[in-house]
Amino acid sequence: MKKWLIPVIIIVVIIFGIYSWAVGINNTAVELEANAKTAWANVESSYQRRNDLIGNLVKTVQGAADFEKSTLTDVIAARAKATSTTIDAGSLTPENMAQFQQAQTGLSGALSKLLLVVERYPDLKANQNFLELQSQLEGTENRINVARDRYNEAVNTYDIYTTKFPAKILAGMFGFKEMARYKADAGSEKAPDVDFNFK
């Protein structure tokens, strides 16, 4: 065997090892990023379900005689804003996330007000459609919380992987950036309880 062949083989093996390492890091980061994006799609899907239920709730409430029109108008406007504020999974920046959260918080506030006003309408509180929609909304709020938690977990896994050494060296070169997490709304630690079980 020629002497020059041994260094060439060693260099080829080293290059192949570095290539395999880089491909492994890239593929793992791609998979973790895709998982986080899917988790975000599930968050949006849960919010969409809530928006659909609120639309049905508004239709049910509109049928009640003399129901406060301003409250309904607020809910309809907040729902329109929340529905129009979406984020593409590739644009999950802190700014976009804050805008999305603000729209959803506005809708939550309008919905809470609507449910409080309903207290003054015994016929509406006894309406079977209304009661069913309330129950579904309560379940959907739970789904939203679970979906947001799962999204944050997926983002956490992705961020840890792409910022730990040695993956961090290549993650930046491959274009992997830190993803925004879903944060609690300002003042949410003092948020009032919404009672869905009217008596």
In tens, the pLDDT along 2-49 reads 777 888 888 999 999 989 988 999 999 999 999 999 999 999 999 999
Among 182, 174, 6, 159, which Cα is nearest to 87's? 182
> Over the chain, what is the mean pLDDT?
84
30, 37, 109, 186 from 106: Cα distances, Å: 34, 24, 5, 12
Which contacts of 77-81 are long-range, i.e. CB under 8 A and separated by 24 or more positions? 77/110, 78/103, 78/106, 78/107, 78/109, 78/110, 78/111, 79/51, 79/54, 79/55, 79/107, 79/110, 81/106, 81/107
**CA gap 24, 17 in Å, rounded:** 10
The average pLDDT across 81-100 equals: 83
Return the pLDDT at 159: 92
pLDDT confidence bin for 193, thresholds 50/70/90: low
44, 142, 147, 149 from 181: Cα distances, Å: 14, 18, 12, 10
The average pLDDT across 81-109 equals: 85
Return the pLDDT at 32: 94
Return the pLDDT at 192: 43
- For the chain, first and last CA: distance in Å? 91
Could you report the per-residue pLDDT of 58-82, keeping only the tens digit for each?
A: 888 877 656 677 888 888 888 888 8
| Domain positions in the chain | 5-181
Q: Domain 5-181 carries which CATH code? A: 1.20.1440.20
Q: Which range, 6-20, 53-67, 84-98, 184-198, is most confident?
A: 6-20
pLDDT confidence bin for 198, thresholds 50/70/90: very low
Helices 69-84 & 5-62 angle (0-180, nearest 10): 160
